[in-house]
Amino acid sequence: MAESITVNLISGRTIQQGVAIESGKEKPSYRTACGIIEMDISDLKKLGAWKNTNVKVTSDYGSVVVKAVEATQGPHPGVAFIPMGPWANSVVSDNTYSTGMPTFKGTPVKIEIAINEPVLLGVELVQRQCGVKVG
Amino acid sequence: MTKTITDVICPFCGTLCDDIEVTVSDDGKKLLEVANACVIGTEKFLHSQSADRVTKPRLRQEDGSWKTISYEEAADYTAQALARAKKPLMYGWSSTNCEAQSVGNEIAEIAKACCDNTAAVCHGTTLIAVQDIGLPSCTLGEIKNRADRIIFWGCNPAHAHPRHMSRYSIFPRGFFTGKGQMSRKMIVVDPRCTDTAKMADVHLQVEQGRDYELLNALRVAFKGEWLPDVVAGIPAEKIREAADMMKSGRFGIIFFGMGVTQTLSKNHNIDEAIAVTKDLNEYTKFSIMPMRGHYNVTGSGEVFAWQFGFPYSVDLTRGFARYNPGDSSSIDLLKRGEVDMMFTIGSDPGAHFPIRAVRAIAKLDSVCIDPHITPTSGVSKLHVPVAFNGVECGGNCYRMDNVPIDCRKVVEPPEGMMTDLDFLTMVCTRLKKLKGAA
């Protein structure tokens, strides 16, 4: 059991993400679908985290709190997956290497247990990260 | 009495399914049921009916609250912001129709804007590769009728294009593929054991980010030359098995997605995938096709290319079109703080750009045209809700194989709600007056 582990983060679509973006990104269902990190069971064990524990994911580009769940499309030890959305984009590499395309797949991230920190709603997360005043 | 409308086009993904059936109320004002669509498409049609929908433009106030304004005031605000800006960025376009995109391009030309579509975070690198070496492609109909070797590389249609496999690529019984799935071999290349990979005859669980090496190894395997024992995490014998399977088909297709466009090597991954396709044509017939995401991102590329000569990342600042991804692309422009106004339509950069680029948007004068409440509307100064294209208004769209299809209107939008095209036309007229353009 470690205080934190380092994994390779990728992001992408899931069908739950697709349904959630069409049913309203301001709703809790968007958070349920995308405010998660899918981890291999062996990585969850290494971290010493129960399934469905909130974790803090940190990279050189930012950090975000998401819920750690067991990979649904595994096994993929050493690779973690956050569905595309503001949670993933809080930590992915924004380097485009002169192609215009950020490096959404393949960002090294540190994961640590953050059991008392909440996973924010989608719109709220972006507004906080950007310092937008909300009335 | 309800009415059932058949052959409706689904405005969600690039598959543009054209067999949807929608049941509406007798007066055509309520959408009641959706048949044949996937779960995402169904949600898209039904969400247009939600009671909590924003129906009037909203302008953010000093204290962060929203003030409801009229469409005329919203068009004035947008035109003035575009006229004031030295280098506005007009981004999105992939969830609206080609007619609206064309008016948008007219606005961009007057405003001397940078224009970009969602290819910026999707298949932009594919477009660069296509310009490098071309793209031997075909239509989805040809695949349904002829293809017996289907490769999904770095894409997961079971989740992202849910009816792609049932309508075109794996299950349908076509003219020369009468046994449907039985007449096809399926290879999936993905670092995860995705739900698509679970269906495959061969799954190559490539080491993440090593697609280029694996593509290169396949080219070696086609020629029967020496390979190292393991390439990109895949044993040589498995690579040879996949190579033989590809070569032995009568007609093959490589579908590829974000797994190759968004990883390191980017456009060079696609270069190599196209080279694999070229090599395979020495043994059999092979094609390659990007799995386009938004239902009309392909159309946006077509309209940009038709009007400006380039499919995305267009910079009109100097009064003529320039194209230089890395310089004129949205993420880079925002990261470098080079634009002074953000205009978003038919997309959600707030949710889908890296956070550093979103922070840049939040600091700018910004307009977001979108039927939904989104992270982009959440950081924008003005939110203009519009009718759902493909549900509440029609218009032309392009399927992922570049086939244009007219979307259909199936239900009336809420009273007084404008379409993208109507609103953009209002903005264009006002901007012309402000800029003294003819």
Task: Dump pLDDT digits (tens) for B11-39.
Answer: 999 999 999 999 999 998 999 999 999 99
The mean pLDDT value of chain B amounts to 96
Strand pairing category for B234-235 and B382-384: unpaired
Angle at B403 between CA B155 and CA B180, to 5 degrees: 55
pLDDT at A133: 85
Residue B242 near residue B202 (C-beta atoms within 8 A): yes
Quote the minimal CA–CA distance from A80 to chain B in Å.
10
A119, A10 contact by CB (below 8 A): no
Nearest chain A CA: its distance from B65 CA (Å): 4
- Do residue B208 and residue A71 have CB atoms under 8 angstroms apart? no
Per CB-CB distance under 8 Å, the chain B contacts of A89 are: 351-355, 358
Yes or no, beta carbons of A18 and B160 under 8 Å apart: yes
**CATH number corresponding to A4-130:** 2.40.40.20
List, as ranges, residues 207-266 from B with C-beta within 8 Å of A: 208-209, 258-259, 261-264, 266
Q: Among residues of chain A, what percentage have pLDDT more than 90? A: 95
Q: How confident is the model at residue B289 (pLDDT cuts 50, 70, 90)?
A: very high
Tell me the per-residue pLDDT of B106-132, one tens digit each, with 9 for 90 and over. 999 999 999 999 999 999 999 999 999
Q: Which of A99, A105, A124, A128 to mutate to test binding with chain B, by most B CBs within 10 Å of its CB?
A: A99
pLDDT reported for residue B61: 95
Q: How far is CA B421 from CA B51, B69, B94, B231, B402, in A?
A: 24, 19, 14, 51, 22
Q: Give every CB contact of residue B278 below 8 A, 6+ residues apart in sequence.
A: B133, B136
Interval B49-73 mean pLDDT: 95
Cβ atoms < 10 Å from Cβ of B131: 14
Residue B231 has pLDDT above 70, yes or no: yes
- Which chain B residue shows the shortest CA-CA distance from A88? B354
Q: What is the ipTM of this complex?
A: 0.97
pLDDT of B288 > 70? The answer is yes
pLDDT band (50, 70, 90) for residue B438:
low
Q: Closest-CA residue in chain A for B375?
A: A123
Check CB contact of B128 with chain A, cutoff 8 Å: yes
Q: What is the pLDDT of residues B326-367, one digit of tens each?
A: 999 999 999 999 999 999 999 999 999 999 999 999 999 999
B261 vs A contacts (CB less than 8 Å): 101
Evaluate if residue A103 carries a pLDDT over 90: yes
pLDDT, tens digit, 9 for 90 and up, residues B66-110: 999 999 999 999 999 999 999 999 999 999 999 999 999 999 999
User: What's the confidence (pLDDT) of residue A1?
Assistant: 66
The alpha carbon torsion through B89, B94, B97, B98 (nearest 10 deg) reads: 70
Q: Are strands B322-323 and B341-345 parallel, antiparallel or unpaired?
A: unpaired
Which tokens belong to B335? 């990261």
What are the counts of helices (DSSP H) followed by strands (DSSP E) for chain A? 5, 6
Contact by Cβ (8 Å): B412, B28: yes
For residues B161-176, average pLDDT: 97
Q: Is the pLDDT of residue B437 over 80?
A: no
As a whole-number percent, the residues of chain A with pLDDT over 70 amount to 99
Q: How far apart are CA B255 and CA B170, in angstroms?
A: 12
CB-count burial class (<10 Å; 0-12, 13-18, 19+) for B319: exposed
Read off the tokens for A131. Answer: 């310092």
Q: How many residues does chain A have?
A: 135
The pair of structure tokens assigned to B167 is 């309508």
Give per-residue pLDDT as tens, B173-222: 999 999 999 999 999 999 999 999 999 999 999 999 999 999 999 999 99
Distance from CA of A69 to the nearest CA of B (A): 15
Q: Do B208 and A25 touch (CB under 8 A)?
A: no
What pLDDT is attached to residue A2? 78
- DSSP class per residue in B55-123: -S-EEE-TTS-EEE--HHHHHHHHHHHHHH-SSEEEEE-TTS-HHHHHHHHHHHHHHT-EEEEGGGGTT
**Which alpha helices (H) appear in B209-324, and where do they start and end?**
211-222, 236-247, 258-261, 267-280, 297-308
Residue B188, φ and ψ in degrees, nearest 5: -120, 130
* Rama region for B337: left / alpha / beta (φ>0; ψ in -120 to 50; rest): left
Q: Which of B155, B262, B353 is best to mutate for the A interface (most A CBs within 10 A)?
A: B262
Enumerate the β-bridge partners of residue B322. B315
The full set of domain ranges for chain A reads 4-130
In this structure, the number of other CB atoms found within 10 A of the CB of residue A94 comes to 21
CB within 8 Å: A101 and B331: yes
Give how far Cα B308 sits from Cα of A68, A101, A132, B108, B304, Å: 46, 21, 35, 11, 5
Test A129 with B358 for CB contact under 8 angstroms.
Answer: yes
Which of B193, B330, B359 is the closest to A130 by Cβ?
A: B359
3-state SS assignment for residue B246: helix
- How do residues A65-85 score in pLDDT, each as one tens digit? 999 999 999 999 999 999 999
Beta carbons of A127 and B194 less than 8 Å apart = no
Q: How confident is the model at residue A135 (pLDDT cuts 50, 70, 90)?
A: confident
Angstrom distance (rounded) from CA B381 to CA B367? 6
Contact B43 A97 (CB under 8 A): no
Q: Residue holding tokens 């009037």?
A: B56
Which pTM value belongs to this model?
0.96
Percent of chain B with pLDDT over 90: 98
Residues from chain B that touch A105, judged by Cβ atoms under 8 A, are 208-209, 258-259, 262-263
**pLDDT at position B379:** 97
Instruction: Sort out which chain A residues have CB atoms less than 8 A from B44's CB and list them.
Output: 22
CA atoms within 13 A on the CB side of B317: 18
In this model, does residue A134 exceed pLDDT 90? no
Q: Are B331 and B353 in contact (CB under 8 A)?
A: yes
- pLDDT on residue B436: 87
Cα separation, B322 vs B112, in Å, equals 11
Taking residues B139-143, report their average pLDDT: 97
